[in-house]
Amino acid sequence: MSEDTRTVSLKVNGARYTAQIPVRTLLCDFLRHQIGLTGTHVGCEQGVCGACTVLIGGEPVRSCLMLAVQAERRLVETVESLAAGDELSGIQCAMREQHGLQCGFCTPGILMSLTAADRADVTVEQAERDVLGGHVCRCTGYEGIRAAIRQRWSEKAAEL
């Protein structure tokens, strides 16, 4: 039996992408394999590790648990959207300065969740507890990531 396909048209990082895909295509696979945005990583494929996190309508979503067709007419943001050319976002700078990554596998997902938390103006405690609670990092022991969160949140406080 042939697989059901459908034409989907997604807006990702401000650009529109249209493709004919099997209806069962996961959003993470669409991003990585159909349109070449390989910054979104895939680890557990069951919603646990957080590596595949992207923003949909500004909210963090596990892209391994969502079909690409479900993201139609929604705004999708991936890690590729964070830097403006060579200029890193605030949370990217903080992660670099505080050595918040080693192998980098978990990093795109963490950056996307922290970007949403940054925009939502949650407290630093919420960012450390709630955001990091949803991500698995096998390398850093989380200390550098927590230091990056504290740096970013204190920079935001200084800007007020």
**Binding residues for ligand FES (CB under 6 A):** 42-45, 47-52, 62, 64, 101-107, 137-140
The DSSP line for 58-120 is TEEEETTSSBGGGGTTSEEE-GGGSSBTTB--HHHHHHHHTT--SS-SSHHHHHHHHHHHHHH
- Name which of 90 and 109 has its Cβ closer to ligand FES: 109
- Name which of 41 and 152 has its Cβ closer to ligand FES: 41
Q: Minimal distance in Å, beta carbon 28 to ligand FES?
A: 7
CA distance 159 to 49: 33
CB atoms within 10 A of CB 73: 9
Q: Minimal distance in Å, beta carbon 41 to ligand FES?
A: 7
Q: Minimal distance in Å, beta carbon 111 to ligand FES?
A: 11
- Name which of 5 and 129 has its Cβ closer to ligand FES: 129
Q: What does DSSP say about strands 53-56 and 5-12: parallel, antiparallel, or unpaired?
A: unpaired
153, containing H or E segment: helix 143-159
CA distance 155 to 158: 5
CA distance 11 to 76: 6
Q: Minimal distance in Å, beta carbon 122 to ligand FES?
A: 21
Q: Minimal distance in Å, beta carbon 157 to ligand FES?
A: 27
- Name which of 47 and 57 has its Cβ closer to ligand FES: 47
CA distance 60 to 117: 9
- Name which of 8 and 42 has its Cβ closer to ligand FES: 42
